[in-house]
Amino acid sequence: MWEDVPAGDLALRIRRPPSAEDLLDEEEFADDERLPYWAEVWPSGRVLCGVLAEMDLSGHNVIEIGGGIGTGAMVAAMRGARALNTDWYAAAVEFSRWNARNLRLDMDAQVMDWRDPPAQVLARGPYDLVVGADILYEARNGEALGLLVPALCEPSTEVIIADPRRPDARAFVDGMQAAGWAYRREDLPVPGRIDETGAIVHVHRFRPPARKHNEPVVI
């Protein structure tokens, strides 16, 4: 199916599966509780698209983590970035690449396990901007991101994570601040459909400490 994603003054029309439920795989869930969240454009993803649409990213090296179809990376590319979308699911990466080609964007996509990131993803960094949407929905995600995010950054990198006020996000924010990362938060309204997470999304913004910016963060 086709979906028009709100992104400021940009026209972002993507193709995605019609139903995430149709993609449920009992074997994958039994192996590591995998669920096909990638097939939806969640409220936090729409908020992230709006944030990125307001930025001039010309010449920036941008990575989206846990991006699913990668609408954040697509908006970054539309704003002039060299963008990379990453997700755990190969099917998400295939959809992401198809949409990027269809929109003629300077964006690639790569399968990535946060605990074992591919060498080519790390070699493409450090990144000027690291973004993600609704990726802190489990405690184990924060622990993995505490290892991954510093490895993608340099001292001037900005990290932006849009989160629908998930309880497990608090530990990640506290851990980053305890490790010396500068932090601020914006509370932004959700454009379009609102789900059970509510009408407001927290947009967490981090900057690395000047020293030891690439050291893992304990969450």
Q: What is the pLDDT of residues 128-163, one digit of tens each?
A: 999 999 999 999 999 999 999 999 999 999 999 999
Residues in the chain, overall count:
219
**Which of 13-27, 30-44, 89-103 bottoms out in mean pLDDT, i.e. has the lowest?**
13-27
Residue 51 phi, psi dihedral angles, 5° rounding: -65, -45
Residue 198 phi, psi dihedral angles, 5° rounding: 105, 180
Residue 43, pLDDT > 60, answer: yes
pLDDT, position 29: 42
pLDDT, position 213: 75
pLDDT, position 31: 52
pLDDT, position 30: 41
Work out the average pLDDT over 51-72: 97
Residue 143, exposed/middle/buried by CB under 10 A (0-12, 13-18, 19+)?
buried
Percent of the chain at pLDDT above 70?
A: 92
Q: How far apart are CA 69 and CA 80, in angstroms?
A: 19
Q: Provide the mean pLDDT of the chain.
A: 91
* Structural domains of the chain ordered from first start: 2-207 (3.40.50.150)
Residue 41, pLDDT > 70, answer: yes
Q: How many CA atoms lie within 13 A of 198 on its CB side?
A: 9
Across the beta sheet with 182-189, the strand order is 107-111, 82-87, 61-64, 129-133, 158-163, 200-207, 182-189
